[in-house]
Amino acid sequence: MKIKISAHGAWIAARICIPILCISVFFGCSGAEKQTLPTPTSQFLYAASQNGITVFPLNALTGALGAGSQATSSFVASGPLANMLPDPNGKFLFACGVSSSSIETFSINANNGTLAAAGSSPLPAQGSCTLSIDATSKFLYTATSAGVSAFVVDPNTGVLSSVAGSPFTDGSDLREAAIDPLDNFLFAISNNTNLNTISVFAINSSSGALTAIAGSPFQMPVNGTAYSIVADPSGKFLYVSFPQTEQIAAWSINASTGALTSITGSPFSSGTTSGDAPNALLVTPSGKLLYALSGGATVFGFSVDTSSGALTPINGSSFALDSPTDYVATDSSGQFVYAAYSNTIASFAINASTGSWSPLATSPASGVSLLTAVKPSP
């Protein structure tokens, strides 16, 4: 399936004014009765570049983006291991730049999306800087060559304080981590091209401290460097991409021990075309769809068996974009996906039944290298 995107210049307005309607067929109202339809929930899409972070209002009903404005100029995205993510409560945005080797914390203005630096920002970080946060917004982690650094997040200010004993290690040189949504375990892939392993740590729910489970790190069943790691929203499955072998490995997670069991059929072929291979992975909030960006102009789409975790290529996958990208984000509902091209952000509607993407519009954006969507707290 070939997706073509045409530039429309200005974006569709971010908010839709819905008139008060009387719909007697559905509500049985008389001439004096009126029904007010709900207005869209406010969301924001943040795009980081060498010029700072730009914020776009996001319409939760249509997926349309409003005009972008500068949220902050203090963060500069640099390198493929730079990272940006919100806390699940939508109060703070955390960003990590490789060139600066620091973690920066911003509070989010729920009205207009502007960002203000938190008291501890920036905080020095070691080596690579890929962030993950637990579902309760209590603990922030970054996987580095020294292990996993852990921080407590102040729920009022966003200020980060180091967890006692941090960084935590099982001796691995780590590059990226994922937390299961049940907040029981943290999984991290190695940055060592000669020793392809995955580390598993149990999370102390009170302190945020990590303890490597017995046997960690574990050898992965694929030859080649692991690139991206994601856990599905149910906390039952884990996925890792391997661009060199053009495969995606999948495991089921033991909810009690954190032990990983290879899913039948794993590793799954990406269905590579023209030399593209799966890089960044994205699982939709429903857990039913998984996408792999190739780093080129190709997207591999898979349906996820929610019972077994097995992957099946979406009909028509792989499909082509108008430009190479390795940076995508979904809105909180998983109905819309956004892709950063060199000087634009393209938006798509996701078909929940087929997993296909339908282009909506594009918006000008200069040099975007990171994207994340936020549903701010009221």
* pLDDT tens digits, 174-232: 888 999 999 999 999 987 666 788 999 999 999 999 999 999 999 888 877 888 899 99
How far is residue 258 from each of residues 12, 140, 146, 150, 261, measured CA to CA in Å? 45, 19, 22, 19, 10
CA angle centred on 242, ends 236 and 246, rounded to 5°:
115
Give the per-residue pLDDT at 34.
39
Give the per-residue pLDDT at 68.
85
Whether the pLDDT of residue 297 is over 60: the answer is yes
- Which residues, other chains included, contact 300 with Cβ-Cβ below 8 Å and sequence gap of 6+? 270, 271, 272, 278, 291, 292, 294, 313, 317, 318
Residue 127 confidence class, pLDDT cut points 50, 70, 90: low
Q: Which range, 47-56, 201-210, 343-352, is most confident?
A: 201-210
Residue 295 confidence class, pLDDT cut points 50, 70, 90: confident
Q: How far apart are CA 102 and CA 370, in angstroms?
A: 16
Q: How far apart are the first and last CA of the chain?
A: 40
- pLDDT: which is higher, 358 or 210: 210
Percent of the chain predicted with pLDDT > 90: 39
Report, as an integer, the average pLDDT of 82-106. Answer: 82
- Which residues, other chains included, contact 86 with Cβ-Cβ below 8 Å and sequence gap of 6+? 92, 93, 94, 108, 372, 374
Q: Give the global pTM.
A: 0.84
Residue 261 confidence class, pLDDT cut points 50, 70, 90: very high
- pLDDT: which is higher, 58 or 15: 58
Decide if 136 contacts 116 (C-beta within 8 A): no
Decide if 188 contacts 197 (C-beta within 8 A): no
Give the per-residue pLDDT at 30.
37
Decide if 190 contacts 235 (C-beta within 8 A): no
Cis amide leading into 167 (omega within 30):
yes
Give the per-residue pLDDT at 38.
39
Amino acid at 187: F
Q: How far apart are CA 26 and CA 256, in angstroms?
A: 48
Give the per-residue pLDDT at 221.
82
